[in-house]
Amino acid sequence: MFNNNKILVVIPARGGSKGIPRKNIRLLNDKPLISYSINTAKSSQYVDDVVVTTDDSEIALISEKFGASVIRRSEELSTDEVTLDPVVYDAMVQKEKLAFDEYDIVITIKPTSPLLKVETLDRAIEKFEDFSVDSVISVVDDRHLNWGYDENNDRYFPLYMERLPRQELPKSFRETGAFLATRRSFVNEFSRLGSNIDIVEVSKEESVDITCFEDWWIAENYLQKKKVAIIVNAFEEIGTGNMNRCLTIASKLVFNDVVFFLDEAHPLGIDMVNSYNYKYMIYDGFDNLFDKLEEYNPEIVINDILDTNSEHILNLKSKGYFVVNFEDLGTGSEFADVVFDDLYEHDLSQKNIFTSYKYYILRDEFYFQPQKIITNAVNNVLIAFPGTDPNNLTEKVINAILSTNYEGRVNVIVGIGYPDKEGLVAKIESNPSVQVYTNVSNISEFMFKADIMFTSSGRLMYDICSLGVPTICLCQDERELTHAFSSNTNGFINMGLGEPLEVAEVRDQFIELVNNYEQRLEMHKRMSSIDVKNGFKNIWTVIDDEYRKFKLENR
């Protein structure tokens, strides 16, 4: 059908924009606004000609540079009062005179709808396969609990039958203005609509019509949107730290399309992502992972799976993905585009490595907790060794505290992988001041209430630092000894490896800190002097900069 029809796209673009001066040629994400409509129309598999009708020489010049022909609009058709009907009719008639031929379908595309997709335009044109269809317009589902106003009786009235949640209301379509397509016979100086109207429902994104600077900002964010794949898992042996970091990242990428890629062998991670209602894809083995990635076709791939090997990263790079790794000491780190590590030291001769507390991402709950106020009395102690706590430092610290005359509250948080929570509870059940919790969702509340805290030398240090809670660290292994952040300089007491420590040594350190208000105050001050709240901003600034370089190098 379409091979036998000539199709014209008319793009009306006056020079006298009031809401946004020189709007049609202003750069939107580094390209003139009008270029988006021209490119969409020219990319259609059905459109024969694209014409811009304008009264402005600069708009005409730019339109021609992007491949559109131009019709110079008369003064009479360029005033604020003139509707689009006579403007489109005039452009059509002039084009037909030049071509010595008539068009069959005439489509108006507004330059203020830069997010219209080519496939949507083609779908609208295909509607004309039904010969009973006269015109097709773009609409968006805009159902709301709307109200009307009766001027005669000065009263308001509902435009709905029943108050229902938005998704249960009947569909209500609003014209987006992105396009209006009609058969040639219905185009005249007074109308561009036939009697039999069909619609194409577009997404919220495609419905953006730029009339003010707020619309401009929304459109620019959509155009800068990236497809981001996050490969991460959570299970008892490694805990949920990596997953929590990735969930926080996803929560901040509001103008990006984020999909989690999760190993079907680890249902804990799947349950966590599912509970947050993020999109995810499940894979079975790395071969299947690459199939799933190819299906999604991301621009950026984030690996938060601890150490990677070179084969895995080189495979990702061969697909053209920009690769970001977290906490990676494996051979793959050399080949990633960017590696962030807030804990471990790296060979900094690798220019792609970014380390230190500046790249730690606080969970949202810590941004809204006030700083800890240090008092003379110690009434609340928190013990939190994440993960499996392989050396059972939790029980060692509990025994140390219970061997003193401390009479305050002791809260104990154990990780989901802690091997014997029931046994631990049984041992301390005779002491009502000690309470054990698992996998809490509001750990910042526990930290804020604590006057002293015990933990390992892991990333929980940064959360603690954001609140300024005096803390004693016991390292789980040699690797944790390399975490230089948990030092006296930053306000921590680091007792080194926890496993060889005697209960008496932990007890004595605890007693000393309980009795030394000045030391606890100094620890708080040192923590408070460190800004750990810009981690995501620092990370995404690096990613943005490196991704731009990556795109330029791979054009």
Q: Answer yes or no: is 166 within a domain.
A: no
Tokens of 294: 């190819």
Q: Look at residue 239 in the predicted model and tell me its pLDDT.
A: 76
Q: How far is residue 180's CA from residue 252's CA, in Å, rounded to a whole number?
A: 36
Q: State how far Cα 192 lies from the chain centre.
A: 41
Tokens of 193: 């609509």
Number of domains, the chain = 3
CATH code of residue 313: 3.40.50.11190
Q: Look at residue 372 in the predicted model and tell me its pLDDT.
A: 94
Q: Look at residue 262 in the predicted model and tell me its pLDDT.
A: 96
Q: Which three-class secondary structure state does DSSP give residue 27?
A: strand
Given the DSSP bridges, would you call strands 197-201 and 135-141 parallel, antiparallel or unpaired?
Answer: parallel
Whole-number Cα distances in Å, 80 to 18, 83, 110: 10, 8, 16
Tokens of 84: 């689009």
Among the candidates 222, 254, 281, a domain finishes at 222
Q: Look at residue 121 in the predicted model and tell me its pLDDT.
A: 97
pLDDT lower than 70: segments of the chain: 1-3, 345-349
Q: Look at residue 484 in the predicted model and tell me its pLDDT.
A: 84
Looking at the fold, whether 64 and 209 belong to one and the same domain comes out as yes
Among the listed residues 116, 103, 121, the one whose alpha carbon sits nearest the alpha carbon of residue 5: 103
- Say whether pTM exceeds 0.85: no
The DSSP letter of residue 406 is -
Q: Look at residue 347 in the predicted model and tell me its pLDDT.
A: 62
Q: Answer yes or no: is 156 within a domain.
A: no
Among the listed residues 296, 369, 359, the one whose alpha carbon sits nearest the alpha carbon of residue 325: 359
Instruction: List, in sequence order, every residue forming a beta bridge with 381; answer none if it has no partner.
Output: 410, 452
Residue 338 gets the label, from left (phi > 0), alpha (psi -120 to 50) or beta, of: beta
Q: Look at residue 348 in the predicted model and tell me its pLDDT.
A: 62
Whole-number Cα distances in Å, 205 to 115, 208, 223: 7, 6, 10
Looking at the fold, whether 332 and 443 belong to one and the same domain comes out as no
Looking at the fold, whether 198 and 346 belong to one and the same domain comes out as no
Whole-number Cα distances in Å, 214 to 17, 20, 127, 224, 234: 15, 10, 33, 16, 40
Looking at the fold, whether 496 and 415 belong to one and the same domain comes out as yes
Looking at the fold, whether 371 and 494 belong to one and the same domain comes out as yes
Tell me the residue type at 529: S
CATH code of residue 455: 3.40.50.2000
Q: Look at residue 236 in the predicted model and tell me its pLDDT.
A: 75
Among the listed residues 254, 256, 228, 232, the one whose alpha carbon sits nearest the alpha carbon of residue 243: 232
Q: Answer yes or no: is 55 within a domain.
A: yes
Q: How far is residue 428's CA from residue 423's CA, in Å, rounded to a whole number?
A: 9
Location of structure tokens 């401390």: 406
Q: Which three-class secondary structure state does DSSP give residue 381?
A: strand
Q: Answer yes or no: is 84 within a domain.
A: yes
Looking at the fold, whether 373 and 486 belong to one and the same domain comes out as yes
Q: Answer yes or no: is 154 within a domain.
A: no
Looking at the fold, whether 187 and 247 belong to one and the same domain comes out as no
Q: Answer yes or no: is 161 within a domain.
A: no
The DSSP letter of residue 152 is T
Question: Contact at 8 Å (CB) between 36 and 45?
Answer: no
Looking at the fold, whether 41 and 92 belong to one and the same domain comes out as yes
Looking at the fold, whether 268 and 392 belong to one and the same domain comes out as no
Q: Which three-class secondary structure state does DSSP give residue 517?
A: helix
User: In terms of residue numbers, what domain contains 348?
Assistant: 225-362+537-553
Among the listed residues 328, 356, 330, 325, the one whose alpha carbon sits nearest the alpha carbon of residue 343: 356
Q: How far is residue 269's CA from residue 521's CA, in Å, rounded to a whole number?
A: 39
Q: Look at residue 405 in the predicted model and tell me its pLDDT.
A: 92
Output phi, psi for 322, to 5 deg: -85, 120
Q: Answer yes or no: is 165 within a domain.
A: no
Q: Look at residue 17 in the predicted model and tell me its pLDDT.
A: 76
Looking at the fold, whether 289 and 374 belong to one and the same domain comes out as no
CATH code of residue 202: 3.90.550.10
Q: Answer yes or no: is 150 within a domain.
A: no
Looking at the fold, whether 490 and 431 belong to one and the same domain comes out as yes
Looking at the fold, whether 108 and 213 belong to one and the same domain comes out as yes
